[in-house]
Chain A
Amino acid sequence: MGIERHLNDTVHVTNLEWFVNWARKSSMWPLGFGLACCALEMIATFVSRYDLARFGMEVARPSPRHADLMIVSGTASKKMLPAVLRIYEQMAEPRWVIAMGACACTGGIYKNYAVVQGIDRYLPVDVYVPGCPPRPESLMDGILQLHAKVMREQSIHNPRTFEIKKGA
């Protein structure tokens, strides 16, 4: 009754932070950063069977300037690590990182001289998706958890920083 009846459910009342978070999570563009085998499952998540387009994420830009989400899918070797950090720096804020697969989370089955034992030594990872390779449903679950995390962020009155960690 009163003003609600006149508005006919066409107005949603919320706070600005919720609105900003909702906009961010509804069209989070991933950076197609396939390093190794997990890239194949990431591609499988994008196409018609598992369809990431329902979440507004089918625009996978190769350029880091256009992307919001970096899905590190595959092993980061020590030779590749400077390139990974450079690409992360080029992404515009706000930017999020999903470590997909065992190799990105902790180094995976490659515990040796050539592989970085988890890119969370250098990048601020938001969601870890384990698996070798994780099923597309797993990756989608990880992405949805990231969306929930973004909705909980206090993006206006307590914004977080998105910086590369110094030191291992």
Chain B
Amino acid sequence: MPENATLKEDRRSEVIELNLGPHHPSTHGVFRAIVELDGEMVLDVVPYLGYLHRGYEKTCENKRYHQVIPLAERCDYMGASSNSLCFCLCVEKILEVEVPERAQVIRVMMAELSRIFSHLFWLGTHGHDVGAMTPLFYMLREREEIMNLFELTAGGRLMPNYLRIGGLIRDLEEGFVDRLRAFTNHFDRRVDEYETLLTKNPIYMDRTQGIGVLPLADAIALGASGPMVRGSGLQWDIRKSEPYCGYESYDFDIPVQSGCDVYARYLVRVQEMRESNRILKQAVERLPEGSVRAVKPGVIFPPQEEIYHKMEALIHHFMLVVEGVKPPEGEYYQVIESPRGEMGCYLVSDGGPQPYRLKWRAPAFVNLECLALMSRGQFFADLIAILSSIDIVLAEVDR
């Protein structure tokens, strides 16, 4: 400004209320927020949810237990197989059904592939939000390989619908294990490639270090879980603290960072991808022979071949499809570690063929509560980076 220019003394600034969304390129779906801005500084963020509310919980009360599985998969469409795993484990616990070991190992494979799948997309879109356009295309190339694997299991690229109550719908195809082994062999080098793009990049570090700080006490009070708390220093992973599906026998570490900011969460998720790859390698080596579904006539579907030859199998299959499985009366809460945090399925059964109440504890819904706390006092451009670091999936938030 020139020396002899004068500033108006009575300049005043007003608070702007900016509407973000629901149609916005950076909000990862139909998310709406009213942001109060003082210039470029965020004073408050108030999310307005419900733009993808699809009545999931009410619909599940009107479906048979097996019909809930595809509905559950579409709840968190990034890592679809974890959702059906949570639901199937819950029902199996109520029914007291033991899943055979081969099915458990394959389920772990699917869960870890879903985790890598979800984290890859997060990494790509997070980079895109912060300004790095290249990682997105690399991630999508990787995701195509994983989608090929999903397609080999049960035909669906995104939502394979592979799990059933009691095990899996059918055994793995011929080339699956070889392709998975090839994938795990080269995936570590790919993660190194992605890290060279972002981790030590000075622009990325400037944009994410010190941004969106979530102190641990606040994180726990607000119910955050998954990489949100692991990035704030708490070593908590449900696969270690409340193991399911045989996770206690796998050798893996939990990545923890103490930075509490966006950069810490990024490091946690990248390391989680490597750990998932480690679990996948162990699962591929230990895959035992055996059946892929439990045997409990009248409750679990009989094997497909038996239906063509045995009368009882045919009748049981018919009754299960027409009437559905009827778990005993009771309630159960099953948790798993989804890519976003603690995912839980609270099921109340009344002895009938339809769930009486299905409550889905969605991690993205609860993690999103932290947004307001993390963004106050930050610049508006950083708000987008913080929002992407929470890793929300709107279908899960709104159900």
Contact = CB atoms under 8 A, between A and B. Distances in A.
B23 A41 contact: no
A37 B77 contact: yes
Interface stretch (A3-11, A42-50, A144-152): A42-50
A80 B52 contact: yes
Contact of A77 (B24, B52, B159): B52
A35 B52 contact: yes
B395 A48 contact: no
Interface stretch (B54-62, B106-114, B167-175): B54-62
A36 B22 contact: no
Interface string B52-74: 11111011000000000011001
Contacts of A156: none
Nearest to A84: B23
A112 B58 contact: yes
A75 B54 contact: yes
B398 to A, nearest CB: 8
Question: Does more than half of chain A's interface fall in helix, strand or loop, or is it mixed?
Answer: loop
Interface residues of B, number: 34
Given A109-B74, A111-B59, A115-B55, 8 more contacts: A35-B30, A40-B78, A47-B140, A74-B52, A112-B54, A112-B59, A113-B55, A114-B55
Contact of B141 (A49, A80, A133): A49
Interface of A: 32-37, 39-41, 43-44, 47-49, 62, 74-75, 77, 79-80, 83, 87, 109-115, 132-133, 135
A41 B52 CA distance: 18
A97 to B, nearest CB: 15
B395 A79 contact: no
B250 interface: no
17 contacts: A35-B30, A35-B52, A36-B29, A36-B395, A37-B77, A40-B77, A48-B140, A48-B141, A74-B52, A77-B50, A80-B52, A109-B59, A110-B56, A112-B54, A113-B58, A114-B54, A133-B157
Contact of B23 (A36, A47, A79, A87): A87
B29 A132 contact: no
A79 B53 contact: yes
Contacts of B141: 47-49
B159 to A, nearest CB: 7
